[in-house]
Amino acid sequence: MERLLELEVITAERRVLHERAESIILPAANGYLGILPGHAPMIAGLTVGVLQFGPYGNEKRRMAISGGFAEVAHDRVTVLADTAELAEEIDLERALRARARAEERLRSRRPDIDYHRAEMALRRALNRIKAAQG
Ligand code: ATP
């Protein structure tokens, strides 16, 4: 039988996904990381990015992740994410509104704006838009 990875994605709120996949691409802190069955055990920090999973070399399903950790061991990939939404779960209108809000904050020169926070909100919104639109 074909060897598969077992992917589990969990947030503090819910178990988002538990599925088998031939290949997984993780948004690791220092770049996208491809995982195939037989990968060496590893723990990686994740950043805001799109996690992809599915058939090797073919179109994959997408999930927007905003930071966390991934553990790879014995063909199991466990992702503990700050937030995670499958592409089809993403409310695109909401993400577009979040983007507009963050851009507006970053453009304003008001002294009470937390720029780092606005920058992170913008990154999450752009990432959700990217995951939803493919
Ligand atoms: P917003 O300002 O729209 O709340 P945000 O980036 O501040 O966006 P987060 O704090 O990252 O939101 O996420 C809060 C919760 O809302 C999480 O459970 C996350 O999965 C969910 N979420 C955020 N944006 C969306 C979206 N566009 N579609 C679906 N779920 C979303």
Q: Is 105 in the pocket of ligand 1 (CB under 6 A)?
A: no
Please give the sequence-ordered ranges of beta strands (E in DSSP) within the chain, or none if there are none: 5-10, 15-21, 23-28, 31-35, 42-54, 61-73, 76-81, 84-86
Question: Does the 90-133 domain belong in CATH 1.10.3720.10?
Answer: no
Tell me if 79 CB under 6 Å of ligand 1: no
Q: How far apart are CA 129 and CA 99, in angstroms?
A: 9
Cross-strand pairs, 25: 34, 52
How much distance in Å is there from the Cα of 123 to the middle of ligand 1?
12
Identify the H or E element spanning 92: helix 92-107
**CATH 3.40.50.11540 fits domain 5-87:** no
Residue ID of nearest Cα to ligand 1 atom 19:
83
**pLDDT tens, N- to C-terminus, the chain (134 residues):** 579 999 999 999 999 999 999 999 999 999 999 999 999 999 999 999 999 999 998 999 999 999 999 999 999 999 999 999 999 999 999 999 999 999 999 999 888 989 999 999 999 999 999 999 98
pTM of the model: 0.95
Of all atoms in ligand 1, which is nearest to the CA of residue 83? 20
- The terminus-to-terminus CA distance of the chain in angstroms comes to 31
